[in-house]
Structure formats: C-alpha cells, structure tokens
Amino acid sequence: MILDSTVLIGAERGGVGIPQMLREVRDRHGEVEVGVSVVTIAELVHGAFRAGSSVVQQRRLSFIDRVCSEVPVHPVSLQIARIIGQIEGEQAAQGIRFAFEDLAIGATALHLGYGIATRNVRHFRPIPGLTVVEL
C-alpha cells in the first residue's frame, strides 16, 4: 500500500506517530507492505515550507524525516515514468487530465502492485487499474 500525502498530513496534524499510523493501516487492511512515493515526500516538504511559522515548519520537517526513516520511499524509476506517460497519454486522448503528482504516485503503486491509501479518492480513482483505499 502506497500512502498518499493526505494520510501522512492527517497523521502529522493529529499527532499520530509513524508506528501507530502503520499499525492502524495494517489493522484495517491486514499485513500489507507499506511505502511512500518520493513524490509524496516532495509534496510534504512543499507543505512544510509553506508553514505559517518556523515552529510548525520544523515540526513538519521532523515528521518527514521520521517518515523517510521508518517507511520505504520508492523513487520514480524509468519503468514508472513509462507508466505515467502511457496513462497520461491514453487518458488525455479521452479528455481526462490528472495532476502530475497524483499520477506519479498512482503509477508508483501500479508498478509495485500496490494499492493507494488516501483521504482524497477522487484524485486517484480515474487511474486505470489502481486500487484506491480511503483512510
């Protein structure tokens, strides 16, 4: 299961630690492998640098560091880039557009044979073949 930024942001804002968040995911979905896309890390860092104060920014950056040390971070590989291009091209031909970040995260999950856990299912449901789980 690839965790979308919405799940991680919810955990950080709710004061939920990474081990507790992973337990909650596994309690709901069984003993699944869990990871994040490197694109999700970029989204989280973006949010940290948009924080209204240096205290919030530092808290968010510390949380991101913990995510990176406790959850596998999957890069965008050549194979994933090809999946992104294929899906984006096929769907654009039908008039369907995606935010690049969401498509890259979804393509990472597809490449790994994972589903995606998110709080924003409408961004991921249109990706063909992707299993989307709302958390």
Q: How large is the average pLDDT for residues 85-109?
A: 96
Q: What are the residue ranges spanned by the domains of the chain?
A: 2-134
Q: How large is the average pLDDT for residues 34-48?
A: 97
The architecture that CATH gives domain 2-134 is 3-Layer(aba) Sandwich (3.40)
Q: What is the pLDDT of residues 103-124, one digit of tens each?
A: 999 999 999 999 999 999 999 9
DSSP 63-126: HHHHHHHHS-EE---HHHHHHHHHHHHHHHTTT----HHHHHHHHHHHHHT--EEES-GGGTTT
pLDDT at residue 135, as a whole number: 83
Reported confidence tier of residue 2, pLDDT bands at 50, 70, 90? very high
Q: How large is the average pLDDT for residues 50-76?
A: 96
The C-alpha atoms of residue 105 and residue 17 are separated, in whole angstroms, by 22
Residues forming beta bridges with residue 134, ordered by sequence position = 118
Q: Is the dihedral of CA 89, 86, 111, 35 positive or negative?
A: negative
Reported confidence tier of residue 86, pLDDT bands at 50, 70, 90? very high
pTM score, two decimals? 0.93
